[in-house]
Amino acid sequence: MPDDVFIAISGEALHAKSKVYIGRAMARKAAEDLDEYQLWASLALELLGKAALAYRHPSLVVDPTNWKSLFVAAGVNVTTDVKTITAKTLFERLAHLVPRFDPLMHKFCMDISERRNAELHSADIPFRAMRLGAWEARYWHACDAILRAIESSLEDWLGADAEAPRQIVAEAAAASDAAVKLRVETAKAWFAGLKKAERETLAQEADGMMPIDQVASFAVAFDQIWIETCPGCGCRAFLAGDQTGEDIKQENDEYAMWEIVEREFVGDEFRCPTCKLVLLGGDELDSAGIDYIHTDEVEREMEYEPDYGND
């Protein structure tokens, strides 16, 4: 990583600016100006997300189609007009950096960013239509997840103002946890209430189901679907998620044509075909006691870069 990073894409500078903006947001909340509270909060969230990417490497926050910006990210300051990524790209990239940045959190961040754009670039007033309870808890939850990924915290980011957001996050988490546990217990009670023969038949049918057969059951197309045990009925169920990383597990000699790759996936959506239990996002999976990190090994043909034709 370059030692002297241009300030526009410096992780430290982006983090510091996000702290200024969240300070302005808290001041507007104290003044009961909830429109500006959400506006400054949305700006602070985007800066915090970019800081998280820039801490990993500045190239993650610059527009990859702009060669001058890529040079700056590499420490070669050929321009001061650095082009950075859009909010859409930012939140897509955070999903590969922040473990808890699941599709639900991604959608929330995109929604608040789109409301921000409408507020700034049109005559619309989208923030005024949003009740505080409809967005605030999810906002602090997203910020907390990003801050944890860069080994920081709400307390570090907000200072003396952190107590109330931390309490909001805790209360929202407790409510979600209780709701998930109730759904699991309801599924258990339903299955236990069946006759023994019915339970055995359903369990046998579930054992015959395979991940490939479940693709249409999930809301979106995920990278992988794998088998899990349902915390409700105890039958075979399925968890789907996207790939977040991979490593070459087996080194091959120069003549090898195949390699062993260990892949990592983060689960986002759980579905049980038997009791119909559905769990969405890492928080609900945690509450149900399901490990949403999945790894597997695959053997694949090695790929080589084509010759440049100058031999």
DSSP 60: G
- pLDDT at residue 254 in the model: 60
Q: Report the range of poorest mean pLDDT among 101-115, 222-236, 237-251.
A: 237-251
- Report the pLDDT averaged over residues 67-80: 85
Return mean pLDDT, the chain.
89
- pLDDT at residue 78 in the model: 82
Which is nearest to 149 in space by CA: 24, 17, 244, 8?
244
Contact 61, 9 (CB under 8 A): yes
Mutual orientation of helices 103-121 and 132-149 as an angle, nearest 10°? Answer: 120
Q: Taking the model in full, what pTM does it have?
A: 0.80
pLDDT band at 130 (very low <50, low <70, confident <90, very high): confident
Which is nearest to 52 in space by CA: 26, 106, 90?
90
pLDDT band at 275 (very low <50, low <70, confident <90, very high): very high
Sorted by where each starts, the structural domains of the chain and their CATH numbers stand as 7-152 (1.20.120), 195-301 (no CATH)
Instruction: Count Cβ atoms below 10 Å from residue 103 Cβ, excluding itself.
Output: 18
Which is nearest to 299 in space by CA: 255, 264, 248, 227?
248
> What phi and psi, each to the nearest 5 degrees, are found at residue 45?
-60, -45
Token reading at 209: 């189901």
Span 196-226, pLDDT tens digits:
999 999 999 999 999 999 999 998 889 999 9
Token reading at 274: 């038997």
- The yes-or-no verdict on residue 70 having pLDDT over 90 is no
- pLDDT at residue 311 in the model: 47
- The yes-or-no verdict on residue 151 having pLDDT over 50 is yes
